[in-house]
Chains A and B, each alone.
Chain A
Amino acid sequence: MNNQQTLARGWAYAFFSVLVLWGLNNVMIGYSAQVLNANYLVYTCSAFVSCALFLLLVGGKGPLVKETLRSIDTWVFGLIMLIGYMITLSLFSYVTSTEGSLLQRISLLFSVIVSFIFLSRAPTKSQLIGILMVLIGIVIVCRDLPEENRGMIYLLMFLEGMALTARMFLAEIHRPHAHAISMVKDPRAKARVVGFVMFVISTFFLILTGLLALLQTVAPLPIENAIIPTLDSFKHTPSIVAGMIAGVALVAPLRLIEFSSANIIKTENFLAIAALSSAATFFWEWLLSPLTGMSVKAVSTNDILAGVIITVGCMVAALGQMKKQSAKKKWEDDLRYAPQNIPAVEDSREIIANSLEHYSGDIKKVASALDINPSTVNALLDDKDKVLAFKTDVLKNVARLYRRHVSSADALTGLINRAGFMTALKETSDPYALLYIDLDKFKPVNDTYGHDAGDAVLVDVAEKMKRTLPSNALIARLGGDEFCAVVFNINKAKADDYIKQLKLTLSEPLNYNKNEIIIGASIGIAFAPNDGTDPEALLKIADQGMYDEKKNR
């Protein structure tokens, strides 16, 4: 999966989680509280505990278990989530749920500031416009707030915004989760990591809720407060059953997607999309009202106006970023101004120069092989003052691709060269047959028809070898008219068959400028592990076999 596909998946995940999972989860919370009379904290405990068990079972046994539990990221995430929930509950005790969810959007401002200061992600125009619209919307919401509680509401709004921002940033940079994403062969690793994170959070929640319930039972608060549970709240069947269903069906996929999406599309963008949660909740409430029996709450005109402005603002910020991320990369994305860093500048120029030589000056092919924009190649070619170099993270990828496509490839035939061949052989553990092929009557071709004809013959030989040998065979041009091929998991009889076929195919005439060129091939063979496992030694054995054949002819 390439970068663009990964990004598209990240955005799709974010929209799905907010529009479907987040909306349904809010409806479920509302249904539990209003229809089932569930205690919110007990409901949340059950949801988190069942979510943790579900994700742990889905994740299964595997690596990153210890790392996740011992990671400070996990514990800080749990603590911030706990604090965030407490702040949310406090905020929602002063304002309506619609007002509360609109005030939460202050998180867009905090996330853009944090990403700029700590992660060097400069805000874009669309983000700045989005933030401005969010602030206007928040001012509109605040106009209607009860005057006596405004100070407390403002404080809780800022704390809530900061907690949400911190939580999502921790999801984005969570180190064990980032490691899990890179483990392509173990797709369940992400669920395992998030499962352990949820386990930590559920333990936090259970301890806190249990303590609150105990205190409320032993020494009740003098005020009536439905949120604080008693020990009897833990025996409220609907709270626990509804929580457990929500935990498995909604919270588990929501957390899993939240982590992946924040990592891929970045926190500030995920929080911008989160603005749709209010509209999504309203939609699901309306759609499911015949089933739930809940009436859709009337929302004041003031809140509708604020909601529209805030949602549009967040969408402007999110869609602007989406467009920017999906746009074709410019050379400024790959290169940096580094006049002081002479080695970096020289390395970058050398990579481009060698690659251009390898691809006969074809800029598009170079750009494609190194996964950079053609304008990057042009920018480095035009850099007469020698001040441009690849950015550090880009250089890592470019160097890897350069090693794979250029430094280990034969420019004429496109086969791998000697260095690439030896590296590949050292990395293989399967048994194989190594064929050493030297062309017969090649020198007269060069002498008679010129070097262009010789080059044409070499290209033709490479094509014929690819056609004759199995698709997983490793074919290399060692230099001059010497080729090598490695065929995996074959016995001697099969290897002899391939040698016969190769000799037959390579002796077929090649038409070059109305001339018929006929060559032949001498082939030596060595088997790994029967003749040894050291590639250099095997190459010598096969070379000797080829030489003996040539001599005995």
Chain B
Amino acid sequence: MTPTDQDRRKASNIDETDIYKASDIDAFINKERRHDELDRLREIKEQKNIWLYTVLFCAVLNIILIGLAIWGAINS
């Protein structure tokens, strides 16, 4: 039976946790030649980017609120 993409993905040697931790996911993408693995790496890259942008946005909201609180404290 021909292995499916899912079978190949299961047999992948790269641990997903390591890819999430890696700072340069493009290095994995440039090295990878299997299309199913590439899809997986691109998916992880997208997940990481969404997480990062959300955290940044949320941090900005927190900073704005803290900034307003400091402004209020100084003025009073």
With known contacts A56-B55, A199-B54, A49–B61 Cβ distance under 8 A: yes
Interface stretch, picked from A140-148, A234-242, A276-284, A521-529, is: A234-242
User: Are A237's CB and B73's CB within 8 A?
Assistant: yes
Count residues on chain B whose CB falls below 8 Å from chain A CBs.
Answer: 29
Rounded to whole Å, the gap between the CB of A116 and the closest CB of chain B is: 38
List, in ascending order, chain A residues with CB within 8 A of B65's CB: 45-46, 49, 234, 240, 244
User: Are A61's CB and B20's CB within 8 A?
Assistant: yes
List, in ascending order, chain A residues with CB within 8 A of B54's CB: 56, 65, 69, 196, 199
List, in ascending order, chain A residues with CB within 8 A of B36's CB: none
Within 8 A of A (CB), among B57-74: 58-59, 61-62, 65-66, 68-73
User: Are B11's CB and A237's CB within 8 A?
Assistant: no
Within 8 A of B (CB), among A78-121: none
A34 to B47, CA, bound (A): 43
Q: Within 8 Å of chain A (Cβ to Cβ): is B46?
A: yes
User: Are A56's CB and B51's CB within 8 A?
Assistant: yes
User: Are A235's CB and B50's CB within 8 A?
Assistant: no
A45 to B16, CA, bound (A): 35
Contact with B along A44-79 (1 / 0, CB 8 A): 011001101100110011111110010000000000
With known contacts A49-B65, A237-B69, A429-B11, A65–B47 Cβ distance under 8 A: yes
Q: Name the residue in A65, A192, A199 with the highest tally of chain B Cβ atoms < 10 Å from its Cβ.
A: A65
User: Are B72's CB and A236's CB within 8 A?
Assistant: yes
Q: Within 8 Å of chain A (Cβ to Cβ): is B4?
A: no
User: Are B69's CB and A241's CB within 8 A?
Assistant: yes
User: Are B16's CB and A65's CB within 8 A?
Assistant: no
User: Are A235's CB and B51's CB within 8 A?
Assistant: no
With known contacts A237-B69, A240-B68, A50–B55 Cβ distance under 8 A: no
Rounded to whole Å, the gap between the CB of B72 and the closest CB of chain A is: 3
List, in ascending order, chain A residues with CB within 8 A of B68's CB: 234-235, 240
List, in ascending order, chain B residues with CB within 8 A of A202's CB: 58, 61
A429 to B7, CA, bound (A): 13
Q: Within 8 Å of chain B (Cβ to Cβ): is A206?
A: yes
Rounded to whole Å, the gap between the CB of A320 and the closest CB of chain B is: 42
With known contacts A62-B20, A65-B47, A53–B59 Cβ distance under 8 A: yes
The 8 Å CB contact of B46, one of A49, A66, A241, A244, is: A66
List, in ascending order, chain B residues with CB within 8 A of A66's CB: 46-47, 50
List, in ascending order, chain A residues with CB within 8 A of B44's CB: 63
With known contacts A62-B20, A234-B68, A236-B72, A206–B50 Cβ distance under 8 A: no
List, in ascending order, chain B residues with CB within 8 A of A206's CB: 61
Q: Within 8 Å of chain A (Cβ to Cβ): is B2?
A: no
List, in ascending order, chain B residues with CB within 8 A of A61's CB: 20-21, 47-48, 51-52
Q: Within 8 Å of chain A (Cβ to Cβ): is B75?
A: yes
Closest to B46 in A: A66
With known contacts A56-B55, A61-B51, A62-B47, A49–B62 Cβ distance under 8 A: yes
Closest to B50 in A: A65
A202 to B61, CA, bound (A): 10
With known contacts A56-B51, A61-B48, A49–B58 Cβ distance under 8 A: yes
Rounded to whole Å, the gap between the CB of B15 and the closest CB of chain A is: 10
List, in ascending order, chain A residues with CB within 8 A of B71's CB: 235
Contact with B along A461-505 (1 / 0, CB 8 A): 000000000000000000000000000000000000000000000
Rounded to whole Å, the gap between the CB of B75 and the closest CB of chain A is: 7
Contact with B along A413-430 (1 / 0, CB 8 A): 000000000000000010
List, in ascending order, chain A residues with CB within 8 A of B58's CB: 49, 52-53, 56, 199, 202
Rounded to whole Å, the gap between the CB of A447 and the closest CB of chain B is: 43
Closest to B21 in A: A61
Rounded to whole Å, the gap between the CB of A190 and the closest CB of chain B is: 15
Closest to A62 in B: B20
List, in ascending order, chain B residues with CB within 8 A of A244's CB: 62, 65-66
List, in ascending order, chain B residues with CB within 8 A of A50's CB: 62
Rounded to whole Å, the gap between the CB of B64 and the closest CB of chain A is: 9
Contact with A along B29-55 (1 / 0, CB 8 A): 000000000000000101110111011
Within 8 A of B (CB), among A202-246: 202, 206, 232, 234-237, 239-241, 244
- 27 contacting pairs across A/B (C-beta < 8 A): A50-B62, A52-B58, A53-B59, A56-B55, A60-B20, A61-B21, A61-B47, A62-B20, A63-B47, A64-B47, A65-B47, A65-B51, A66-B47, A66-B50, A192-B51, A199-B54, A202-B61, A232-B72, A234-B68, A235-B68, A235-B71, A236-B69, A237-B69, A237-B76, A240-B68, A241-B69, A244-B65
14 further A-B contacts with Cβ under 8 Å, apart from A49-B65, A66-B46, are A45-B65, A50-B62, A53-B55, A56-B58, A57-B55, A64-B47, A65-B50, A65-B51, A66-B50, A186-B17, A199-B54, A202-B61, A206-B61, A235-B69
Residues of A within 8 A of B (CB): 45-46, 49-50, 52-53, 56-57, 60-66, 69, 185-186, 192, 196, 199, 202, 206, 232, 234-237, 239-241, 244, 429
Q: Which 7 A-B pairs have the closest CB atoms?
A: A235-B72, A240-B69, A237-B69, A237-B73, A53-B58, A65-B47, A61-B20
